[in-house]
Amino acid sequence: MKRTYIIMMALVVSLAGYAQKKPKITKANQARENGDLAEAKAIIDAAIEYEKVKDDGKTWYYRGLIYATIDTTSNEQYASLSDNALEEAVAAFNKADEIDPEGKGYYVTGMMGIPVLKEQQISNYYSYYYNKAVMAFQDSEYQTAVDAFEKSYYIVPDDTNAYINAAYAAHNGQLYDAATKNYRLAIDNGATSKDLYYNYVSILTSALDDKEAALAVVDEALGKYPSDGTLQKNRINLLINMGKIDEARGNLEQAIESEPDNANLYFTLAVINDELKEQERAIKAYLKAIEIDPNHFEANFNYGVILINQANETIKESNSLGMSKADQKKARELEPVINQKLKDALPQWEKVHEINSSDRTAMETLAYIYTQLKMKEKANAMNKKLDSL
């Protein structure tokens, strides 16, 4: 017991000694270079409290080196010397820059007497975590990759690659909160790829179901890329899903000005007009979509629905008539109108069937029209197709 007590007392006296006399900061770095991180830390911790050296930039520079070495060492005993070595290292380097922005004396002598500047040391520190992150990403260890990429940009905040890759790693790992945080940071720190916005919006819309936030990001992106078709379509779809139909239509019309040959934009505009019960405008937009892309299935189908509904409305009107002479006369007058409307719808539904011969609704509609128009052979043939499904 006595021996243990004496050793502990000696340790206390030794540490206290650093505080009582002027710490030699070069000795702290020598201890680091010799691998004695406990001694290096003890000296440098005392130095930042000592009046004559605490405002010396080199004190903080060496402190940054010592804590960076503690942070990255594979020796568990030395690694346990600090719970926040990364933060201490970065704070120390920043303090050194604050004291002496030029940092002319911030270097150590490397192999063969060549000086190693602080900038190179910080770059190596950054690369330690960045390379660790890349290896984890390649092994699909996405959480580890995110953590290491985030440490990389903590060390070098103005390098956008680490922000971008942290976002991609989180996205791949379905770590959506981390992904949105890092997409935001990448954009805020100057990354310019539009894919960052696309991915950011996709997560907010689908994974997190935060359409208001997604719309805000799209609006921000459109401020930078006002003619981007993908962003315009994202905005339109968000507005539709949020029930903001009128606003969506205005955005669609603006998007069409940028892409006048985009059949999908006209189709979406037609759908919106349909929702607003503005049939003439819907028909015009469907026909424009079909003009641009004659085989656009959805546009052809929806236009066909309008035509058959027009016929069915007249049929419904006829069926609602009574047995009076006036009603019977009206019914007879409606017969040619019904037939004409069915004839108008027929080629459109034949086109729909031609585009997609396996669509059941198209086949059922054609069988109905053929039957109403007394085209028995075609009606029978279509019914056989339906029976074979």
In 3D space, the residue among 61, 86, 83, 67 whose CA is nearest the CA of residue 155 turns out to be: 86
Q: What confidence score (pLDDT) does residue 14 get?
A: 43
Say whether 155 sits in a helix, a strand or coil. helix
Q: What confidence score (pLDDT) does residue 51 get?
A: 86
Interatomic CA distance for residues 314 and 329, integer angstroms: 15
pLDDT tens digit string along 99-143? 999 988 899 988 778 899 999 999 999 999 999 999 999 999 999
Q: What confidence score (pLDDT) does residue 22 get?
A: 64
CB distance 383 to 367 below 8 Å: yes
The CATH number, out of the four listed (3.30.40, 1.20.120, 2.60.40, 1.25.40), of the domain defined by the range 16-109: 1.25.40
Give the start-to-end residue ranges of the domains of the chain: 16-109, 298-389
- Whether the full predicted model's pTM is greater than 0.75, yes or no, is no
pLDDT in tens, the chain (389 residues): 334 333 333 334 344 444 455 678 999 999 999 999 999 999 999 999 998 899 999 999 999 999 999 999 999 999 999 999 999 999 999 999 999 999 888 999 887 788 999 999 999 999 999 999 999 999 999 999 999 999 999 999 999 999 999 999 999 999 999 999 999 999 999 999 999 999 999 999 999 999 999 999 999 999 998 878 788 788 888 998 898 988 888 888 888 998 999 999 999 898 888 878 899 999 999 999 999 999 999 999 999 999 999 999 999 999 888 888 888 999 899 999 999 999 999 999 999 999 999 999 999 999 999 999 999 999 999 999 999 98
Would you put residue 196 in left (φ > 0), alpha (ψ -120 to 50) or beta? alpha
Percent helix, strand and coil across the chain, each to the nearest 5: 75, 0, 20
Interatomic CA distance for residues 156 and 133, integer angstroms: 15
Q: What confidence score (pLDDT) does residue 11 get?
A: 37
Give the containing element (helix H, strand E) for 239: helix 229-241
In 3D space, the residue among 137, 132, 144 whose CA is nearest the CA of residue 168 turns out to be: 137
Strands (E), the chain: 107-109, 115-117
Interatomic CA distance for residues 132 and 93, integer angstroms: 22
- List, in order, residues 6 or more apart from 264 with CB less than 8 Å away: 233, 289, 296
Q: What confidence score (pLDDT) does residue 21 get?
A: 59
- Give DSSP secondary structure letters for 327-351: HHHHHHHHHHHHHHHHHHHHHHHHH
